[in-house]
Structure 1
Amino acid sequence: MQRARDVSEDQLLEAFLPIIKSHNTKADRLMLGPGDDCAVLNLRDGLTVMTTDTQTEDQDFRRTWANGMVTSGYDVGWKAATQNLADIAAMGAVPQTLLISLTLTPDTPVTWVEDFARGVTEACTAQGAEKCSISGGDLGAGSEISVTVTAVGTCLTPVLRSGAQTGDALVLAGTVGTAAAGLALLENSSSYQLTPGLSACIEAQQRPCSPLASGATAAHQLTGMLDVSDGLLRDAGRIARASCVNIDIDAAALSPWVARVQEAADLCTAPSQNADDLALHWVLTGGEDHGLLATCPADSVPAGFTRIGRVTQPGDAVTVDGKTYRAKGWDHFEATAR
């Protein structure tokens, strides 16, 4: 098996660029793709929105998990694309291109890099962003695998976090809690049989799916929006602070998402825990599902969104059934984030 240390940078590029170039034939904004000093895109209509995000080995993923499952290049590529595409969608924008910086360890198999490229391109296609090009990037060597993606999109008017109004409904498109359940299963070293329900949780952690089209389609009906990358409570708090409002989440409205992770909670619950509490905890605080959390007038919830709470009054707090929930969600630097 050839590894990164066995080939040159040009040979690595030759291994995966055909996958990228094949995907780019569907892009209608890309004038010049990989191969020159810069990419050239035609983004003249509307406003341009940009975002960037990084995945780092042993911080955001493990090559081999405690339960024995392996993270493939396809998994890393899919997730890297999704987390950036979701940010674009959360602005009410349409993804137009991705730029990717990939750092590889010397022992990385060349096939891993090819799978990574397939994961990126197929994540775009599967989630409705087939015209989003991969227009360039960088390739380097390091002591751990790391990938940074910059995404560019376009919109007429962006949907901000700061537009929520008292009386609005809090609504959600996509899913919450499932990726957190999947992470717990991956980190669970005990012996257990994978069922369709447990596999779906792991799939949500390794290859999350975001309702990308809902962002742009519903943008004109929404007053505020962001993607749920760090947990429902933490991200709702960002809308609350930006909009200077209080938000109350209805726990009963979350029951469909709680039901999806109940089997995993039953398996992962420690003797001192309650499985029902753990399932709700994942839904309230688990990140990386990349659903879209938004606010809108209470009498016009957009198609594809479900009402899960309301904006109650001026302030900056988030409550669940009127009460403060102690845990908030994921933070890279906060030791007590969960």
Structure 2
Amino acid sequence: MNLKSIERVGVTSFPAHYSGPTLGEVGEHRAIEEIVAAAPSRRNGDDAAVLNHASPNSRAVATTDMLVEGRHFRVDWSTPEEIGRKSIVQNFADIEAMGARPIAALLAVSAPPHTPVSYLRGIAAGIHQKVEEYSAELVGGDLTSGNDLVLSVTAIGSLGGSRPELTLDRARPGQRVVAHGHIGWSAAGLALLERFGRDLRRIPEHLIPLLDAHFTPRLNPGRGVVARATGATCMTDNSDGLIVDLSTIARRSGVSIDLHSADITPPPIIYEAAEILDADPWEWVLTGGEDHTLLATTAGDPPSGFRVIGRVGRGDAVTIDGQPPRYGHGWVSF
């Protein structure tokens, strides 16, 4: 189960400590000024942003994704800064999964009029913190009134050089399956939140990294570019569940994928969370998603920052040590 399965309950109620004027009180233009102040860019502020011309033999890469309050995040669990950072990670992971470098982001926000301006500024500050890690910028967007808090981020990247992009249909038998990032941590963090809320007095301190992995999944910038440069042919990010996302690669490429159980075994921190919650840690690993782990195939050694987790073969199934996975479901929108 992942955060996207949370059902919306009631009207957005922001934490009391986000005080001060609301969006309805200050209006659109003042609110946009707050976003620009929190996430400054010399390209932002006109009708459209003009980006530097791509270098020779390069291509532009674009993606977009949405976060809906009550479905992808909860304001009583996540801080606005965490929501902003997560919105960038899930979009920039898609850019990296193509083997490209993120260079810019656009933000569209629909928010209730009673949204505190300080809350919106916190979201923009979180976005700025994360885009700076990639030497990218928030270069524009849109703001409108709505019943729910909704963020839509468009990410733009640059794909340099003559190597092909890392599409889902280019896995080949005999290749290794490699991964960069945690697997199952975000789902474990969500399960802790569902049981205890964000009451840190009830969650052992050494399990807090699981919450952090859920609030803001962590990827090292540039790993997708490195993987493409060193011979990876196919890549995706683990957003909907490990088995679901690898099944997409297997289907699109016409191959089978066999995972090594020893290489995806839940670490002790996840086993401990599962013991507290009386849960099966393997369900988080195989179905959780939202870690945005980079999953790639390559004929060579694992790229820097990646580890081997399986093999590509002939056929059309995803297995673990040659056997069907214990769990095969994941996230679907409808």
> TM-score by structure 2 length?
0.88
Tell me how large the CA RMSD over aligned residues is: 1.6
- Which deviations, in whole Å up to 9, do the C-alpha atoms of 1:71-114 show, x marking residues without a partner? 22111101101100100011110001101101111221111111
Give the match's secondary structure for 2:141: strand
Whole-Å separation in 2 of the counterparts to 1:265 and 1:106:
40
Preserved CA contact (<8 Å) 2:111 2:148: yes
| 1:44 positional shift | 2.3
Preserved CA contact (<8 Å) 2:182 2:293: yes
Whole-Å separation in 2 of the counterparts to 1:230 and 1:164:
19
Aligned amino acid, residue 287 of structure 1: G
Matched, 1:6 2:43: no
Which of 280, 286, 295 lines up with 2:288 in the alignment?
286
| Corresponding position of 1:319 | 319
After TM superposition, list the pairs within 5 Å mapping 1:173-212 onto structure 2.
173-189=180-196, 193-212=202-221
Whole-Å separation in 2 of the counterparts to 1:93 and 1:240:
22
Whole-Å separation in 2 of the counterparts to 1:4 and 1:204:
30
Preserved CA contact (<8 Å) 2:54 2:158: no
Whole-Å separation in 2 of the counterparts to 1:90 and 1:282:
22
| Corresponding position of 1:51 | 63
| 1:189 positional shift | 4.0
Preserved CA contact (<8 Å) 2:256 2:318: yes
Preserved CA contact (<8 Å) 2:226 2:304: no
Structure 1 residue ranges without an equivalent (≥5): 25-31, 65-69, 270-274, 334-338
- Structure 1 residues 216, 58: CA separation in 2 closer, same or farther (over 3 Å shift)? same
- Which deviations, in whole Å up to 9, do the C-alpha atoms of 1:185-219 show, x marking residues without a partner? 11114886222332111111111112331110121
Preserved CA contact (<8 Å) 1:182 1:202: yes
- Which deviations, in whole Å up to 9, do the C-alpha atoms of 1:139-167 show, x marking residues without a partner? 01111100000001011331111111101
| 1:6 positional shift | 1.5
| Corresponding position of 1:119 | 126
After TM superposition, list the pairs within 5 Å mapping 1:22-101 onto structure 2.
24=41, 33-45=43-55, 46-64=58-76, 70-101=77-108
Give the match's secondary structure for 1:182: helix
- Which deviations, in whole Å up to 9, do the C-alpha atoms of 1:156-184 show, x marking residues without a partner? 33111111110111110111100001111
Whole-Å separation in 1 of the counterparts to 2:69 and 2:304:
37
Give the match's secondary structure for 2:313: strand
Whole-Å separation in 1 of the counterparts to 2:226 and 2:333:
32
Structure 2 residue ranges without an equivalent (≥5): 1-19
| Corresponding position of 1:28 | none
Aligned amino acid, residue 144 of structure 2: G
Whole-Å separation in 2 of the counterparts to 1:260 and 1:170:
24
Whole-Å separation in 2 of the counterparts to 1:196 and 1:222:
38
Whole-Å separation in 2 of the counterparts to 1:13 and 1:165:
48
